[in-house]
Amino acid sequence: MKAKAMIGTLGGLLILLTCAPRRIRSQPEPEQRRLVNMTLVRNASSIGAYCLDGSLPAYHFDRGFGAGARNWLLQFEGGGWCNDIKSCLDRAATRRGSTRHMSRLEVFSGILSNNASFNPDFYNWNRVKLRYCDGASFAGDAVFNNGTTLLYFRGQRIWQAIILDLLPKGLAHANKALLSGCSAGGLATFLHCDNFANYLPKNASVKCLSDAGFFLDARDVALNHSMRYFYKSLVSLQGVQDNLNKNCTSAVGYPEQCFFPQYVLPYIRTPFFILNSAYDVYQFHHILVPPAADPHGHWYHCKLDPKACNAVQIATLQGFRKYMLQTLQPFFMNSTSGGMFLNSCFTHCQSESQDTWLAPDSPRVHNKSISEAVGDWYFSRRISKEIDCAYPCDNTCHNQIGTQFFLKLEAAAQELFFQQRFPDSKGPISI
């Protein structure tokens, strides 16, 4: 029960920070990097589409050219979730809940790059980054107003408002389209994939890609369903249930389970590609071993460096990988239109960073880069279902684990946990 009670507050800190800054090894030089301006959706208020704080939603749009002028790539931004009033109120005062706090320029790299050398299959497409400011993977539809606090849980309407704004700009006449996203944005692709296809011409080639969005409904090391409880409270608070896949919600025992990709995937009709690490560093730290499940810090060193894991911890990590493979087995075996790139790196999000998307030293499985695997799948050049061998076999990985950001994040998570358990102990938390 104590672990459940901490899920909301811990989630507000930890899940807000799922998209981490990382060291870029093979990024273009600064003068080559593509900076794209923000576009506010001015008419979003007509359908009640607002960020958490009431600000207008936004996106960044880099227009395509040449042979790609009628092709579109939409990328959901990631950045975690909020599942209670406090965490959502905190979020509303940041760039994760308000366009007022967002950067007006965004770097387009990796799958969003306009450089053929860095992004050979999609460089000349219309590329759009959808900014994330609702805290429920663009899926909520509710309002909280107690007279003093007003929060808009309008992710579903934000999604609709952005699409409606893009349709007259050429999206309505797309020949090819790809809906993608990272982390919480990767989860959003599972939730909106078929709906995206419904907006586009019947003869268009429409497909979807999730990067680091295959969040598992797994027990943590204390045998609690921490993530299941978190998603349940999120779905309830933000009014998500009515926007979940109807075939899924009618088939499972608890409708909120359809927020998990593993339950909704069998009901998605549009061709789908899953890009994920079997040792996703976010899932390792916050689904498998959340701070509440490790109060004495037995996993502390292992979470910072897999080389420090003992035999039992390595076996637990391999069990997590095995569970991910088991949940994906029907998709791997039966989907004729699906694709997959499942590597064994301790990382989180690999499509928007140039060093992992396509670079001389980018991660590979069966000598194939992520960019090549996605392109092979989208254009049906060859079957593209790549599964890496188990850790520690892959020497092409760009591991995030142990980076300065995650060291600070883990320290802050542990500090918050102990402050909640021992409230008389005060101290700053800095990220």
Residue ranges with strand state E in 221-362? 272-277, 339-343
What is the number of other CB atoms lying within 10 angstroms of the CB of residue 125?
A: 28
Tokens at residue 250, please? 């009618």
Cα separation, 136 vs 82, in Å, equals 7
Residues catalogued as catalytic = 183, 280, 348
* C-beta separation of 392 from 306 below 8 A: yes
Q: Do you find a cis peptide bond into 28, omega within 30 degrees of 0?
A: no
* C-beta separation of 181 from 77 below 8 A: yes
* C-beta separation of 52 from 133 below 8 A: yes
Nearest Cα neighbor of 102 from 148, 52, 136 is 52
Element (H, E) at 58: strand 58-62
Cα separation, 17 vs 92, in Å, equals 14
Cα separation, 289 vs 145, in Å, equals 35
Cα separation, 47 vs 172, in Å, equals 20
- How far is C-alpha 61 from the chain's CA centre? 20
- Residue 101 CA: distances (Å) to CA of 6, 39, 53: 27, 14, 11
Looking at 82-154, list the stretches that DSSP marks H as alpha helix, in order from N- to C-terminal side.
85-92
Cα separation, 100 vs 85, in Å, equals 20
Q: How many Å is the maximal CA-CA distance in the chain?
A: 64
